[in-house]
Amino acid sequence: MSSAAASVIRTWAVPVPARKAKVPANYRAPRSNAKHLALRDDQPAKVYFGAMTGPAPLKARSIGSYAKGCLAGGTALPASGATWQVMRLSRNRNWGHPELIRFLEDLAQDAPALGWRGLLVGDLAQPRGGPMLSGHASHQIGLDADIWLTEMPNRTLTRQEREDISAVSMLKGPMDIKNADRSVDPRKWTDSRARLIKRAASDKRVARIFVSPAIKKALCDFEKGRDRSWLRTVRPWWGHHYHFHVRLACPKDSKGCKNQNPPPPGDGCGKQLTYWLSDEPWVPKKPKTPGKPTKVVKKKPMALAALPPSCKQILTAN
């Protein structure tokens, strides 16, 4: 590709049908609204990737790492299936590597047998992956998915409802108070949720699942069987009490996809979890000096140059 071509994001390369000519069956309207945005290495990558409205029409490939990469050949999870519904459709973040889409369809299919009517699916990735204009450091290579801890209702939600409905927190109360009870609210948390996460964590395609430490504790208590190996995949993390986050391992077809190191051995229900449930990570150490504003260090957005070089081709492919 010439450098001139590479420096400009072109519209979807579909020949404009001649006047009066029949529109070919495979005609697709331009899918990128970022035409003529010049690609500059020093510019925030999220501006470019956030402007992409359609996938890069290439062979499916996750490129780079979960929080620094992009996606070729993205596939959309259909907005509704028999046992799933995608939320926040306006965000256009229901894209992923085909393996992620298959995984979600499989999990959704298994849900009813676990006592869970179906999935409400949150963000996956943008059509071409990459950093987003809001939220999420990861979700960049089409292998991450947020699944709500709220059960799918017994009807198809309207587009508007999918924008408006809020997920429900599983926590008893705030985590950042001294001696807080950092556990799940038994009025909200159910074994069906535990079974759903266990099913996801037991899937060979899954590398990690992120949940609130309170949920991790509930899962540690839930498993009464001898085989606790699935618990290793479930990791305590900040947030993640409205939804759980599934991360797949790099698919075989994805050269240049970087796996994370596997989680430490063991079920993760011991010392590490005790730490997560203590005041230590949550309660600020020093009392704030009155009148002295806390310094907020704003992180600079990731520049386009920080991504793998092939991500530029993902932006210009059409």
Question: Which residue, 217 or 245, is less far from Zn ion as judged by CB?
Answer: 245
- 141 three-class SS: coil
Residue ranges in 73-132 that form contacts with Zn ion under rule CB under 5 A: none
Of 55, 129, 141, 146, the residue at the interface with Zn ion (CB under 5 A) is 146
Q: Which of 204, 91, 191, 183 is nearest to 146 (CA)?
A: 91
CB of 224: closest distance to Zn ion in angstroms?
29
Select 10 or 258, whichever has its Cβ closest to Zn ion: 258
Query: Residue 267, interface with Zn ion (CB under 5 A)?
Result: no
Q: How far is the CB of 50 from Zn ion (least distance, A)?
A: 17
Query: Which residues lie closer than 8 Å to 7 by C-beta, 6 or more apart?
Result: 38, 39
Give the interface segment with Zn ion, choosing from 52-60, 104-112, 164-172, 239-247 (CB under 5 A): 239-247
Size of the site for Zn ion (CB under 5 A): 2
CB of 245 to Zn ion, least distance (A): 4
Task: Indicate the DSSP class of residue 152.
Answer: P
End-to-end CA separation in angstroms for the chain: 12
Q: Residue 214 or residue 317: which is nearer to Zn ion going by CB?
A: 214
Stretch that binds Zn ion, among 98-106, 155-163, 242-250, 270-278 (CB under 5 A): 242-250
- Which of 68, 245, 247, 312 binds Zn ion (CB under 5 A)? It is 245
Question: What is the spatial order of strands in the sheet that 206-211 belongs to?
Answer: 80-81, 84-86, 119-121, 144-148, 243-248, 206-211, 234-236
Pick between residue 32 and residue 62 the one whose CB is nearest to Zn ion.
62
Q: Which residue is nearest to Zn ion (CB)?
A: 245
Q: Shortest gap between Cβ of 240 and Zn ion (angstroms)?
A: 7
Q: What is the helix (H) or strand (E) element at residue 164, kind and residue range?
A: helix 159-164
| Nearer Cβ to Zn ion (99/146) | 146
- R_g of the chain, CA atoms, integer Å: 22
Helix pair 98-110, 191-201: axis angle to 10 deg = 140
Instruction: Assess contact for 98 and 112: CB atoms under 8 A.
Output: no
Determine the Cα–Cα distance for residues 114 and 194; give it in Å rounded to an integer.
9
Min CB(41)–Zn ion separation in Å? 28
- What residues are paired with 211 via a beta bridge? 236
Least Å distance between CB 239 and Zn ion? 8
Shortest Cβ 312–Zn ion spacing (Å): 25
Distance CA 192, CA 196 (A): 6
Which residues bind to Zn ion, rule: CB under 5 A? 146, 245
